[in-house]
Amino acid sequence: MMSSDFVVFRAGVALVLMCSFYKSTEDPLPELSPQQYFSTLQPGKASLAYFCQVGSLSNSLFLEELKEAIRPLQDYGISVSKVNCVKEEASRYCGKEEALMKAYLFRGNILLREFPTDTLFDVNAIVAHVLFALLFNEVKYVTTLEDLHSIENSLKGKANMIFSYVEAIGTPEHRAVMEAAFVYGTSYQFALTTEFALLENIGSENIDRAHLYFFHCKVVLDLTEHCRTTQMEQPLTTLNIHVFVKTMKAPLLTEVAEDPQQVSTIHLQLGLPLVFIISQQATYEADRRTAEWVAWRLLGKAGVLLLSRDSVDMDIPQHANVAFRRAEKEVPVEFLVLNDVDLIVSYVENNMYIEEIQEDEDGVQKGPDLAIQDDEVAETVYRDRKRPLPLELTVELTQETFNSTVTTSDSLVLFYATWHAVSMAFLQSYIDVAIKLKGTSTILLTRINCADWSDVCSKQNVTAFPAVKLYKEGESPVSYEGMLGTKDLLKFVQLNRISCPVNIASIQEAEKYLCGELYKDLLSFTSVSVLGLFSPAMTSAKEHFREVGKQLRGSVITGVYSEDDVWILSNKYAAPLPAMLLARPREGRIESVPLATAPVQEMVQILANAPLEAFPEITVENLPAYLRLQRPLLILFSDGSINPQYRNTTLALVRQKQLDSFTPCWLNLKNTPVGRGILKAYFGHLPPLPQLLLVNLHSGGQVYAFPSAQSITEQNLILWLKKLEAGLENPITILSDQEWKPPLPAFDFLSMMDAPTSQAPTKKVEECMKEAEGQETAEQPQGGKSATRRLPTEMLRIKHWNRSNWPKEAAEEPSQLHREL
Amino acid sequence: MGPLGLLLALAMHLAVCTRPHRDYCVLGAGPAGLQMAALLQRAGRDYEVFERESAPGSFFTRYPRHRKLISINKRHTGKANAEFNLRHDWNSLLSDDPRLLFRHYSKAYFPDASDMVHYLGDFAKCLGLRVLYNTNITHVTLDKDPQAWNGHYFILTDQNGQAYQCSVLLVATGLSVPKLVDFPGSEHVEGYESVSVDPEDFVGQNVLILGRGNSAFETAENILGVTNFVHMLSRSRVRLSWATHYVGDVRAINNGLLDTYQLKSLDGLLESDLEYLALVKDSKGKLHITLKFLLEENNSSQSADSIPLPQDENDNFAMRVAYDRVIRCLGWKFDFSIFNQSLRLSSGTEFSKKYPLIRASYESKGSRGLFILGTASHSVDYRKSAGGFIHGFRYTVRAVHRLLEHRHHGIAWPSTEHPITQLTSSIIRRVNEASGLYQMFSVLADIILLKENATAFEYLEEFPMQMLAQLETLTGRTARHGLFVINMEYGKNFSGPEKDVFYYDRSVAHIEDAWRSNFLHPVIYFYRHLPTEQDMRFRPAQWPLPRPVAVHHIVEDFLTDWTAPVGHILPLRRFLENCLDTDLRSFYAESCFLFTLTRQRLPPFCQQGYLKMQGVSSTKSLRQHGVESRLLQDYTTMEDSNLWLGDQPSAPGPLTQSLDSNKEEL
C-alpha cells in the first residue's frame, strides 16, 4: 500500500482549503504596472495576471470573480494580480483592443497559457482552468475509449487511476476534480473527459452532470484483464472526492480479533460505518472470500472487517454472522443475521443515515424516494383496484335503504370506505364469505360505503373502518370483533344462526348438545359447546350467564339448561349448581366449571380461553389467542403433519403438568408457509425439519433450539428444558427489540417554508402591486416588498428530515422567521 | 331614602321577581338565531328567541332589494355524502332533519330571497323552536348577582316594558342599520334600502352609485341597460371575490358593470374618499359633484349655480357631468343602541367598526356570557373566511353552543377516541367531507389530542382555532401529550384584490411542493405542547397559528378529493409517523404473525389489530400483488437450501456451513 508522507501532507492542504473555502475573501487584488509585475515573478512559481487598460470599467464582473479566486489559488501557491497597462510601459501582453480581455498564466516568467476572460466566467472556472493548465501532465484529457484503454493498460500492475467525467471544463465539478488532482496527482493517474459518449461506452447508466471512477489497476497483473472500477456515488465536490479516495486507499479487508466497539479505522473518521463479517476457524477461508466480496460491493460506502469469533472474548449471538457499527460513537454495535451479500449491502445502504457531509454550495442530496408506497395493504389494494369484484352478491345500502333493510331482515352490514385500503382489502374477504354462503344463509350480507353515507355510519356509532355489525330483529346490533378475514367471519355468521345462548328443553337434548349432535353443522366452526346448568330459582346467575353468552356470540356456542331435573346433569358431571359444562365433542371430553362466584368478566375470560387446545397447531389466525397466556412457546416446526409420537410425548408431558409454564404447540409449514420466514430469521437459513424451538416472546426474546441430534423423548425434552432453566444453554438468537420507527423521513415543509426565498411565485404579484391604487394597507401587513430572488432549485428538492434536529431548530428559529416574513 | 324611595325599591324588587327567567336568550330569529335555537332545543336547554317581527328572517323579506340571493344553492355535486354536499349548500341551517335542506325550497342556483323567508319559517316551525314574535327588545342591561352563571343576569326589556332575565345572552341581530353618508348635500342621496327597483324609473338617466360592494353592483346590474351611464364611486378599489376568495367581495354574478367599464361602454368606476365630497343640486334638479373644501371656501353664497366646481380649476375632472340620481349602497352596521353601557359592548377596530368587539370564542370582550352570533360576529374573520354568512356562521354558532354546553352543563366538547392506527384515516375522512372546516377555513380547525405514549388519540371537530391556548378550559379535554391541528388554507400569497389568480403554473402537482399549494388545501400542524396565549399572540405574521414543531400540507387537488393513495395519503402518513416517531403502516395478519414470532416489539397496527385477534387477512389476489410489488414474500416457494452468495460465482463459500457446524459443536 502506498503511503508517503508527501501524500498525507498534500491531503492536509486540501483540508485546510476546504475550511477556508467559504470564507469571504477580502484579499485585495494587487494592482501592478507591467514592469512591477514581471519583476516580482519568481522562478518555478505560478502566477495569474490579468492585463487591462487603466480605468476600464467594462470588466468589473470578472474582477470580482478574480478577487474571489485569490485566496483559493494562493493555497496552491499561485499568485494573482491585475496588471495595469500604462502607455509608457507598453507590454506585448497589453496588446490590442480585443486582447485587453485576457489573463495570462506564467510559471516563473514562462507563459503557460492565455485565457480569454469569458472562459474564466466565475471563480470555479478560474481555479479549474488554472489548475488544469498547471497539472497538464498529471491529468490526462481523453476523448475516446481508446485513449482511456491505453492509459488503463499502461497502469496495470503499477498504479491506480481516477477517471472522471464532467459536463464541461470550468464547472464546479471540474474544479473539484482538479483540486483533488492537485493533492493526489502524484499518487494516482488522473484522467478526465467531457465526452458523454465515452461514459456510455463504459456502461454507466443515468449519467448526470459528473461522474468519478476509481480504476483499481495496480492489482491487475494479467494485461488482458480489465481493471476493476468503483464508481463514486456522492456528488463531485472536493470533500467528497477526498473521502472517496481515502476509502479507496484503505485496505479492502482488515482482519480483527477485538471487540468491534473498540476497533477504529479511517472509515469511522470519515463518517462511514463498519461491517464485521463474523468468522470462525472452521470456515475461515469461505468467510474471508465472502468478506472480500462484501468489501468490493461496499467499497467507498463502508469499511469491511473480518472478525474472528473464536478469538474475541465477548458475547456474540450464536447465529449472528454480521456485526454493523454506525459511524456515530454512541450507537452500539448491532449483531445481525444477514444471509446473502445483497442483504448486507442493502442493509448498509439503508442504514447509512449518518450526518451527511453538508455541501452548502451544491447541496445535492439524494434521499430515498418518499413517494414509493411501503404499506403492503395500501399497495396491494391499489394494484388490485381494476379487478372487478362480484359485489352484486352483497346488497349495497344507502341512507334510504339502511333502516328498512336492517329492521326487516337479519343483516350483516360491512361499514367501509372506498378510499380506505384496509377496508378494501377486507371487502374482498367479505365478498368471499358472500360467495361461500350464496343461497344458504338466512342472514343478508350487506355493505355501506361510509365515504358516501357518513351520516348513516356515524349514527350507527361507526367512526373507524372497517366495521361489521350484525342486526337481528328485536336485538341490539352485535359488533364483529374477530379477524378481518373469510374464515372467522364465516364462523361468526354461522354461529349466529342459533340464538345465544340456546335454551335447552330436555335432558336428552342437553346430552345431544354436549356430544355435538344437536348442531352438527356448526361443529366445524367451534371446538367447544358450553352449557350452563342452573336450578330454576337461580335467576340472577342465569342472567349473568346469558350476558356472557351474548358477549361471546359468534365465537362460542352457549346453551342454558334450567329445568327441574337439572340435578341429573349436575350429578352426572359432578358439577354443583350453578355450573357450566365445557364440552369438546371432537375430543369427547367434558369438563365442569363451578359458577358460584365468578363475575361476568371472569366467565368471559374462561370461555374465551375454553377453545384453546392443549397441543394446538399454531396458525396465523390462532396465535394471538395462545399468546394471551403469556408463556414461552414450545413450538415444533414441521413440514406437513406432525409425527404422532411427538404428539404423544408432548401430551403425556402436558398430562404430567410438566409443561405448565409453556405453551406447547406446533406449526405446519404446509398450512402456514410463513413459518419458513420465521425459521430463516432464527437460523439464517432453513434448518432440517422437524425443528423444536423454545421461543421466549414475552421476556427477553431468546430462541433456543432443541439439539437436532437428539431424539425428542420425554426424558430428553425435560432435561433440555431444565438445562434452559438453569441457563446452561445458549440461545441460537435473541429477537430484536428494536422500536418500530418511521420507515422513511417525511417532507420537511417547515424548513422549506423558512428558506428566505420561499415566496417565488409572488414575484409577478409584486409587480402588480406597484400599480395598485388602493390604500388597503391592512390587507398587506407585511408589504412583501423585499427583493425576492428566484427560488433556487435545491429548495424544492427533498431534504432529509433530520429527526434528531428538528425540534431543536424549531425552538431556535422563530425570531429568524419573524425577520424573514 | 324617603318612603317614596323605599316604595320604588319595593316595586322594582317585585318587578325583578315577576320577570321571567331563561337560561339562554337569543336576540333575533334570523338564520343565526334559529340555528342557535335549534341546537339549544336539541340539547334540551331552557331558552327563548326574541323576534321583533311576526315571522323569522325579516331581513330577507326586504333584502336584497332585487331579491336574488348570491349564496349558491348547488343541488347536485355528484356525491351522496350529506356532509360534503353542505360544502356547496350555502343556505341551509344545520339540523338532523334532511327535509330541512334548502335545496328542497328552491331550484335556482341563486335563489330568490322569499324562498329564504319560507325556509326559515319552516325551520322554526318544524323543529318547534321557541320564538317570541312581535317582541322588540328595546333595552338590554346588566344585573349583578353572584348567584348567576356569569356573575350577572342580562335584563331585556321589550317595547311593552316587559322585562326578561337571562343567564346567557346570544345576540343574533345581524347588521341592521344602513351606513349613511354625511357630507354637504348628502340629503340628495337616495339609499339602497328605499331606492326604486323598477328599471323604468332610471330610463335615460345619469346615475352615480356610492359604494363598491355587492349591493352597489346589484343595484347597478339592475339598471345598466336603461341608464345613460352608471358611475360608481368608492374609497377603495374593487375587490373581486374570485381574487380574494372572500364571498363578501363582489361576486361574478354582479359584475356586469365591470364588463361595460372595461369595454368602454360609458359606465365607470372611480376611487375617492367620500369624506371630501359634496353634492350640489342645481336649478334643474341635476346633481353636481364638488369638493367639501371648495364649499367651505365661500360659504356665503349658497346658490347652486354659483358654487365653484372642481372642473372650474381642472377642466377634465372625472365627475364633471351632472347626475340625475345619486344612490348610496354602503352596507349596514350593527345596532349598538339597545345595549346599556354596563354591557361594555363596543365597536371593533378601524377595519371592523361596523361589528361589535368580540373574542375568537364569539364572547363579548366587555361582558361574560354575552355572545355575538351570525353576521354581527364577522369581525373574527372579516374579509377572510365565511363567518358573516349562513354557510359559515352555522358552524361558528355550533362551536359557541359546544362551548356553552361545557361551561354551563359540564358536557365536554364532543370527541371520538381511536387507536393511533386510525390517525391517518381520521384526518383523510375529515378533510374530504367536513364542511365546517371547508367553509370556515382558518377559523375553525379540527384538533387531535394525543393520549399518553401516542397509542391513541381524541378527535375534536371544528374548534375556534384562535382559542387554542384555552382549549383545555373551553372544551374540558386535556392536551398533555401533544396535538395536531387540521386546518384548511389558501396559499399564503394567493388571495388579494390585486392578485392574479389565473397565473400560469398556479397549481402545484408535486407532493414535495405541497407547501406551495395555492388553492384551498388541508394543512396539519404538530405541537408537542398546547401553545400558550403568548405563543398565539406573537405568532409569525400571516400565520394562522404559532410556529409548530412540524407542518404538513396535503397538496391542493383540482377535485378537492384528497384520497389518492400516493399523492395524498402516503405523504400524510410519513408526516404523522415522523411526528410520533413510529411506524403507522398497515400489515396483513401474516406479516404480523412473522413479526410476532421474530421480534420483541410490534408495529402499532399489529399491536392494536392482530394481537387483539383482529388481523387483516389477505386474499389470493392481494397476496399475488404483494409478491409482485416485493412488499410481501412468497414463503411457499422459499428455497429450502439457503443461497448464501449462491449466485455470486466469485465467492462460493457459503457461510451457512459455518453456522451449521457451529450448531453441531454445541
Q: Residue A797 CB: number of other CB atoms within 10 A?
A: 14
A373 contacts chain B (CB < 8 A): yes
B20 touches chain A (CB under 8 A): no
Task: Return the C-alpha cell found at A414.
Answer: 360491512
- DSSP structure class, residue B562: -
Are B432 and A419 in contact (CB < 8 Å)? yes
Query: Can you spell out the DSSP letters for A82-120?
Result: EEEE-GGG--TTT-STGGGGEEEEEETTEEEEEEETTT-
B645 belongs to a structural domain: no
Burial environment of residue B513 by CB neighbours within 10 A (0 to 12, 13 to 18, 19 or more): middle
Complex-level ipTM: 0.86
Query: Positive or negative CA dihedral for A3, A6, A7, A13?
Result: positive
Under a CB-based contact definition with an 8 Å cutoff, are residues B220 and B65 in contact? no
Give the span between the Cα atoms of A634 and A653, in whole angstroms: 12
CA neighbor of B165 nearest in space, from B145, B182, B184, B187: B145
Touching B: A residues 534-593, CB under 8 Å: none
At B306, list the grid cell: 354659483
Residues B418 and B325 in one domain: no
Cβ neighbors of B524 (< 8 A, separation 6 or more) are B427, B484, B485, B486, B487, B551, B552, B553, B554, B572, B575
Q: What is the CATH number of the domain that holds B120?
A: 3.50.50.60
Can you say how many angstroms the Cα of residue A548 is from the centroid of all Cα atoms in its chain?
Answer: 45
* Within-domain flag for B489: yes
Within 10 angstroms of residue A433's Cβ, the number of other Cβ atoms is 25
Which of A277, A377, A737 lies closest to B586 in CB terms? A377
Work out the minimum CA distance from B622 to partner chain A, whole angstroms.
5
**B480 contacts chain A (CB < 8 A):** no
Task: Check CB contact of B516 with chain A, cutoff 8 Å.
Answer: yes
Task: Identify the bridge partners of residue B171 per DSSP, sorted by sequence position.
Answer: B27, B372
Distance CA B562, CA B502 (A): 22
Residues of chain A with C-beta less than 8 angstroms from the C-beta of B591:
376
In a domain, B314, yes or no: yes
Block means of pLDDT (10 residues each) for chain A, 821 residues, are: 41 38 56 80 83 68 82 84 71 63 81 82 87 85 86 86 87 88 85 82 72 86 82 83 85 83 80 85 83 85 85 76 80 79 80 47 56 92 91 92 91 95 95 89 91 92 91 87 91 85 86 83 81 84 83 83 85 84 82 76 79 89 91 92 89 89 93 92 87 89 89 90 88 88 90 65 37 37 36 31 36 35 33
pLDDT tens readout for residues B458-473:
999 999 999 999 999 9
Grid cell for residue B381: 374573520
Cα–Cα distance measured from residue B383 to residue A328, given in angstroms and rounded to the nearest whole number: 53
Picking from B404, B427, B456, the residue at the C-terminal end of a domain is B404
Closest to B15 measured CA to CA, from B164, B142, B159: B164
What pLDDT, on a 0 to 100 scale, did the predictor assign at position A633?
93
Contact A293 B586 (CB under 8 A): no
To test the contact with chain A by mutation, choose from B619, B630, B634 the residue with the greatest count of A C-beta atoms within 10 A, namely B619
As given in the structure block, the three cell numbers for residue B173 are 341581530
Amino acid found at B91:
N
SS3 A669: coil
Cβ <8 Å between A774 and B613: no
B569 touches chain A (CB under 8 A): yes
For the segment B56-112, what is each residue's pLDDT rounded down to a tens digit?
A: 999 999 999 999 999 999 999 999 999 999 999 999 999 999 999 999 999 999 999
d(CA A357, CA A742): 23
Do residues B375 and B498 share a domain?
no
- Least Cα separation, residue B272 to chain A (angstroms): 10
**Contact between B398 and B463 (Cβ < 8 Å):** no
Amino acid, single-letter form, for residue A174: H
Give me the domain span that covers residue B488: 413-580
List the 779-808 stretch of A: residues with Cβ below 8 A of B.
779-782, 784, 796-798, 801, 803, 806-807
Instruction: Give the C-alpha separation, B93 to B170, whole Å.
Output: 17
Cβ count near B538 (within 10 Å): 12
Residue B631 lies in a domain: no
Q: Quick count: other Cβ atoms within 10 Å of Cβ A424? A: 23
Nearest to A250 by CA among A204, A202, A301: A301
Name the residue in chain A with its Cα closest to that of B417.
Answer: A463
Q: Which of B345, B378, B404 is the last residue of a domain?
A: B404
**Option in A432, A681, A749 nearest B553 (CB):** A749
CB atoms within 10 A of CB B454: 17
Q: How far from the centroid of its chain's Cα atoms is residue B228's Cα?
A: 40
Same-domain check for residues B289 and B237: yes
**pLDDT per residue over B510-524, tens digit each?**
888 898 888 999 999
Asked whether the beta carbons of A73 and A29 are under 8 A apart, the reply is no
Is residue B435 domain-shared with residue B519, that is, in the same domain?
Answer: yes
Number of residues in chain B: 666
With an 8 Å Cβ cutoff, are A686 and B639 in contact? yes
Same structural domain, B273 and B377: no
d(CA B210, CA B580): 56
Same domain, B194 and B249: yes
Does the pLDDT of residue B658 top 70, yes or no? no
The verdict on B30 and B127 lying in the same domain is yes
Q: Which residues pair with A584 in a beta bridge?
A: A589
Q: Does B122 score more than 70 pLDDT? A: yes
Q: Judge whether A810 is closer than 8 Å to chain B, CB to CB.
A: yes
Q: Are residues B28 and B132 in the same domain?
A: yes
**Please, what is the average pLDDT of chain B?**
88
Residue B339 and residue B323 in one domain: no
Terminal-residue alpha carbon distance, chain A: 56
Cell of B574: 410519513
Interface test with B, best of A708, A737, A740 (most B CBs within 10 A): A740
| Separation of first and last alpha carbons in chain B | 109
Cα separation, B9 vs B5, whole angstroms: 6
Put simply, whether A498 touches B (Cβ < 8 Å) is: no
Give me the sign of the Cα torsion angle A619, A620, A621, A622. Answer: positive
What residues does A210 pair with on adjacent strands? A166
- The DSSP result for A703-714, as a single string, is EEE--TTS---H
The Cα B641–Cα B657 span in angstroms is 11
CB-CB neighbors (< 8 A) of B95 in chain A: none
Give the Cα-Cα-Cα angle B277, B279, B285 (nearest 5 degrees): 165
Residue B64 lies in a domain: yes
The CA distance from A438 to A450, in Å, is 25
* Nearest in space to B598 (alpha carbons), one of A456, A738, A781: A738
Whether residue B594 lies inside any domain: the answer is: yes
B658 inside domain: no
Helix ranges (H only) for A135-189 are 145-155, 172-184
Give, as one character, the DSSP assignment of residue A690.
S
- In chain B, how many domains are there? 4
Q: Is residue B662 situated within a structural domain?
A: no
Is the pTM of the predicted complex or chain greater than 0.95? no
> Cα A389 to chain center, whole Å?
33
**What is the total residue count of chain A?**
821
| Distance separating alpha carbons of residues A290 and A368, to the nearest angstrom | 28
CA distance B626 to A236: 38
- Are B599 and A398 inside 8 Å of each other by CB? no
Give residue B476's pLDDT band: very low, low, confident or very high (50, 70, 90): very high
Which pLDDT does position A26 carry in this prediction? 54
Shortest Cα distance from B178 to chain A (angstroms)?
23
Residues B429 and B399 in one domain: no
Same domain, B157 and B302: no
Could you say which of B404, B423, B438 is where a domain stops? Answer: B404
Gyration radius of chain A's alpha carbons: 39
The dihedrals phi and psi of A732, each to the nearest 5 degrees, come to -75, -25
If asked whether residues B426 and B555 sit together in one domain, one would say yes
Query: Position of cell 365468578?
Result: A598
* Grid cell at residue A637: 416446526
Q: B198 vs B70, B92, B194, B299, CA distance in Å? A: 20, 30, 12, 38
